Structure 1
Amino acid sequence: MAGAKDHPAGSTRSALPDADLSRLLLENLATGVFGVDLEGRFTFLNRAATRLFGFTSPESVLGRDSHSLTSHADEDGVRYTVMECPIHRAMVTGKPLEVGTDTFRRIDGSPFFARYYATPLLDGAGDVQGAVVAIEDITENLLRERTLTQYKAVFDASRDAILLHDQRAIIDCNPASVELLGAPSSEGLIGRHPATCSPEHQPDGRPSREAAETYAERALSEGSVAYEWLCRDLDGRTFPSEVLLSRVDLPEGPFLQAVVRDITERQRAEKALQRSQAELAAAQEMAHLGNWVWELDSGGLSWSDEVFRIFGLAPESRAPDYDDFLRFLHPEDLERFERAVAAALSDGPGYELEYRILQPDGSQRTVQERGRVIRDDGGRPLRLRGTVQDITDQRRLEDQLRDQRDLVETILDGLPAIFFLLDTEGRLVRWNHNLEDVTGISEERIKGRQIAELVDPLDRERLRSALALTLQEGSAEIEAGLRTHDRRLAPYLFTCNRVHLEGGTFLAGFGVDISERKRLEQELARQASHDRLTGLYNRWKFEEVLDLELERARRYGTQFSVVMFDIDHFKYVNDRFGHDTGDRVLQRIGELVGQQVRRTDILARWGGEEFMLLLSETGLEQARQLAESTRIRVGQADFPESGRLTISLGVTEYRPGETVPEMLKRVDNALYAAKQGGRNRTVSD
């Protein structure tokens, strides 16, 4: 035997024939591979191709039309005709299609993007007998590329420094990180170990490399970790920072993304605020309160040392008098002060007043003064005794807090989303104006209401469950309909997080109107099922409806019929008047037939100039009559650009036990007979 001569004794090399070995390799390829004949029918599929299209087995589709089963379309979802199909062109031209990127559909109707290669299959004489196609699902890759593009735009535009590393080296960084770390360009950072951006030790004494590894392990296990860190730029300057370290899962494996913000100014401001608070505490302890007495009969005025200091004077530097005191008052507050004193002396026990003073150096201070009237037994005022306190710092802090509160309110009201703060019972505690504007409910009516009362009653229980989940796990997300001021139900995406404020637990969240997103989703669904030119159902949608009608007929014993028709001599219309005129003819035919058929009938564009009608609850004779009246109506219609046109129709009725392909074959034969019989006629089977 040849094998015995070719191999040494004891060899374990396989003796499989070359054809069997090729078949075995083909079956085990990860890439889908299938073959078609010149008619576009499947001749073989390997396992990967069978799985990709969702077929139960290769045998279930061998010999069937691959074009209709896979719904081959371009990247925009426009389905190819057989003649336009790139695979068909490869067979016609005899030239391989090196690479193509189009959309296909699985047997369950779900679409996917694919990259494919088509090679003509030649016989011994060099004639094309079909094609071999290699196909690969790239949907996930395309989505990943789009996501990465969006991320890159945010990455580059971020004002915070962002670095991506694998714990061994920085592999990417944004322009803000180049500026923050003093690098000449991104190349000056990429490839460096992350530890080179830190001093040897952190302020608490921990070695930076050891502490960084700890945070990295937490980020990898928990998803993210935030902390303060002492950084060092390439010039050796150290600065405090705030770091958010997050795990990023890429195809190559997990990486770490560090978002770094220089907090030097923030810490300086915090320290300044701490000093101010310490000074204020000391002032409160010492009262920072001056006392005074004004003798009304003599006009004598006495101040404590603290009063002198408040007015910017050295203690006991001068003998104060009332007129001298009035010169310290701010001109805009003088009249108000004198009215308060006069009212107290007239019949009041005293007064309490805030006013501004101008110190000798021009500095303006705000003081709070309390005065009490001392009267004799007859009620005549003898003197005024009181206190004065410098509250400038207090008022400045209150102004800052008010400004901060106003800023927060402005930011919340400026958000395009709805903001809300709930108590643990789901009652509204705080919200922005958007909630009032969208719902049309006033502030008085919103406060204390359950947020569930504002949504669609059908969504209320789900919303309450989402709030309970937020309390339990920290966050939740839900879509629900929000009742608007014009009584519409607008779809909103609500996100909610558990927060702790002033010792209490609250639920803070946002609601975003997703009406446009829902509209786009519906539009995509419509485009997937409708012919772009005529607006009618496309072939894929018609086959789906036909499958459902056949299943209904099997289950309930109902009858239905199918009509297939096309435009006679349509090629002449395209060649003579142009494809634009041909497109308008197709649209006009769709309109005419759509006006002719019943509302329950389904009209679809089958492909090219072919159309299909599904007539439910309709027997063969009634279907033939409707088809004939349609033929007459089209024949009588006026087509200004192309002249009168006719159509040929094939009609068939569902026969119990037959399949959709068998029924379509019969109606196609009937249409063929109408064509062969001279066109402009109806033939039923």
Structure 2
Amino acid sequence: MNDTYKHSEVTESDTTLNAILDLIVEGTWDWNGETGHVTRSPGWYRMLGYEVGIFLENVFTWENIIHPDDYKRVMTHFEQYINGQSTQYLIEYRCKKSDGSYLWIIDRAKIQAYKADGTVARMIGAHHNIHNKKLAQDEVSKLNKLLQQGNMSLDNLIKINAKELEKKNQELEEKIKEVALLSNIDPLTSIANRRSFEKELQKEVLRSRRYNHPLSLTIFDIDLFKNVNDTYGHKKGDDILQKLCKLVSTNIRELDFFARWGGEEFVLIFPELTLKQALVVTEKLRTTISQYEIEPDLYITCSFGVTECKDEDSIEDIFQRIDNSLYQAKSNGRNRIESL
């Protein structure tokens, strides 16, 4: 590596670096594997149409804007590189812009330092806008395919209205998103359903192992909910479930995942929280719920089971522990938290 700049003081080099990063049109990123902190250049935000600095500076920000159809491919490539199975990190994929559309980028990066255990301590990369080039390549590919199939003459292909094709593709993509959303949402409570939770848990377990981050789970249900239904009726029971979900949703972090497991039972995923930290958060939820007056003189309580994911855990191991924890909480008097 050539030393282009030589500064006598750190403050001078910082000033130069920040000035350069602010001028670069494309987006650069710097991941600290020790802390999980990710620094992104102003150009990264501007390229995607976001206000500079609007996101949390962690890996979740990056993963959450990757197109769902590209996500698995990108993560596989990333893991192969940081685990030494690949000699370079270089991949094309789509990132979500502020207006909801997706931009094709090419992502290049290199590991700069390793920790004592051989895992990544620092990695620096850059996102380069290749959207127009990619669209042109895709259009040529489609036209060539039609020509090879003999479905259209060259004259007819030239007359294709590109804007109309793009509009149809956008409409189709919106319909696909709508169907996907409905299949992942619980219709009564408007939070994620069991199917969505199972997919998210698998994703978070892999992410936890990829970055060596802690991951905890909580399961809870409403105490003696059958008595509530028998006393007030099922319509009132549904109303309670809806109000409970709104209460919990407003008292968890944006990166936490909340879902209905079934009936009056719910689950929470707490990324980057140890068991000790998850117990603190869960206790605040338990207290908040027990003190919440659903309507005049009507209160409910919940019992909670909490566990932290371990490297050797299977999904079944995780569920077994939180199920056992919840059972203990109910056996020990309800309106309490137990953990394994």
Give the TM-score of the pair, scaled to structure 2.
Answer: 0.55
**Distance in 2 between residues matched to 1:471 and 1:625, nearest whole Å:** 63
Give yes or no for contact 2:275–2:307 (8 Å, CA) kept in 1.
yes
Moved over 4 A (4+): 468-473
Distance 2:174 2:255 in 1: 26
In structure 2, stretches of 5+ residues that fail to align are 1-130
Alignment of 1:14-25 (within 5 A): none
How much does 1:659 deviate? 1.3
Output one character per residue of 1:146-200: Cα deviation in whole Å (capped at 9) or x when no partner.
xxxxxxxxxxxxxxxxxxxxxxxxxxxxxxxxxxxxxxxxxxxxxxxxxxxxxxx
Q: Could you tell me how far 1:470 is from its partner in structure 2?
A: 4.5
Which of 545, 548, 557 is the equivalent residue of 2:212? 557
Q: Over aligned residue pairs, what C-alpha RMSD do you find?
A: 2.4
Deviation string for 1:445-476 (max 9, x for gaps)? xxxxxxxxxx966412222333345555543x
Distance 1:668 1:682 in 2: 12
> Which residue of structure 2 aligns with residue 463 of structure 1?
139
Give the corresponding residue for 1:632: 287
> Helix, strand or coil for the counterpart of 1:606?
strand
Amino acid at match of 1:623: A
What is the SS of the residue equivalent to 1:596?
A: coil
SS at match of 1:655: coil
Determine the structure 1 residue equivalent to 2:203. Answer: 548
Q: Which residue of 2 is the match for residue 252 of structure 1? A: none
Unaligned runs of 5+ in 1: 1-454, 476-496
Q: What is the distance in 2 between the residues matched to 1:544 and 1:470? A: 37
The alignment partner of 1:553 has SS state of helix
The one-letter code matched in structure 1 to 2:141 is S
* Deviation readout 1:545-567 (Å, 9 max, x if unpaired): 21222223334432111100011
| Aligned partner (choices 214, 233, 244) of residue 578 of structure 1 | 233
Number of aligned residue pairs: 206
Cα distance, 1:635 vs. partner? 1.1
Cα distance in structure 1, aligned partners of 2:296 and 2:329: 26
Q: Is contact 1:604–1:611 with CA below 8 Å preserved after alignment?
A: yes
Amino acid at match of 1:521: I
Alignment correspondent of 1:537 = 192
- Whole-angstrom CA distance in 2 between matches of 1:572 and 1:524: 36
Q: Which amino acid in the other structure matches residue 462 of structure 1?
A: D
What's the offset of the Cα at 1:663?
1.4
CA contact (8 A) 2:143 2:157 kept: no
Aligned AA (1:553): S
CA-to-aligned-CA distance 1:217-246 (integer Å, 9 cap, x gap): xxxxxxxxxxxxxxxxxxxxxxxxxxxxxx
Structure-2 change in CA distance of 1:509 and 1:642 (3 Å): farther
In the TM superposition, what whole-angstrom CA distance separates every residue of 1:269-324 from its partner, at most 9, and x where no partner exists? Answer: xxxxxxxxxxxxxxxxxxxxxxxxxxxxxxxxxxxxxxxxxxxxxxxxxxxxxxxx
1:642 deviates by: 7.6
Change (3 A) 1:468 1:549: closer
Of 459-468 and 527-536, more deviation after overlay is shown by: 459-468
Query: Retained in 1: the 8 A contact 2:229–2:236?
Result: yes
Query: Does 1 or 2 have the higher relative contact order (CA < 8 Å, sep 6+)?
Result: 2
TM-score by length of 1: 0.28
- 1:583 aligned partner, one-letter code: D
Tell me which amino acid in the other structure corresponds to 1:525. A
* 1:657 matched to 2:333: no
What pairs up with 1:448-597 in 2 under 5 angstroms?
Answer: 458-471=134-147, 473-475=149-151, 497-498=152-153, 507-509=158-160, 511=164, 513-514=167-168, 515-597=170-252
1:38-67, CA deviations, whole angstroms, 9 ceiling, x for partnerless residues?
xxxxxxxxxxxxxxxxxxxxxxxxxxxxxx
Give the Cα–Cα distance (whole angstroms) in 1 for the partners of residues 304 and 145 of structure 2. 61
Q: How does 1:345-356 map to 2 (within 5 A)?
A: none
Q: Is 1:610 the counterpart of 2:265 in the alignment?
A: yes
Question: Superposed, which structure 2 residues align to 1:74-93 within 5 Å?
Answer: none
Counterpart of 1:539, as a letter, is R
Q: CA deviation at 1:629?
A: 0.3
How far is 1:645 from its partner?
0.8
Contact 1:581 1:641 in 2 (8 A): no
One of 665, 669, 685 as aligned partner of 2:324: 669
- Corresponding residue number in structure 2 for 1:329: none
Q: Distance in 1 between matches of 2:320 and 2:233?
A: 31
Q: Structure 2 vs 1, CA of residues 473 and 560 (structure 1 numbering), >3 Å: closer, same or farther?
A: closer
**AA partner of residue 139 (structure 2):** L
Please give the secondary structure, in 2, of the residue aligned with 1:615: strand
CA apart distance, 1:648? 0.9
**Which structure is larger by alpha-carbon Rg, 1 or 2?**
1
Q: Which amino acid aligns with 1:637?
A: Y
Q: 1:653 to 1:474 in 2, by over 3 A?
A: same
Contact 2:147/2:154, CA 8 A, preserved across alignment: no
Residues 508 and 634 of structure 1: is their aligned pair in 2 closer, same or farther, counting only changes over 3 Å?
same
- Confirm or deny: 8 A CA contact 1:635 1:645 kept in the other structure: yes
3-state SS of 2:269 partner: strand
Identical-residue share of aligned pairs (%): 36
CA distance in 1, matches of 2:144, 2:202: 44
Residues 681, 470 of structure 1: alpha-carbon distance in 2 compared, 3 angstrom cutoff: closer
Q: Distance in 1 between matches of 2:207 and 2:308?
A: 14
List per-residue Cα deviations over 1:374-419 (Å, max 9, x = no partner): xxxxxxxxxxxxxxxxxxxxxxxxxxxxxxxxxxxxxxxxxxxxxx
- Structure 2 equivalent of residue 599 of structure 1: 254
DSSP 3-state at the match of 1:603: strand
What are the within-5 Å matches in structure 2 for residues 314-333 of structure 1? Answer: none
Q: Identify the residue that residue 410 of structure 1 maps to in structure 2.
A: none
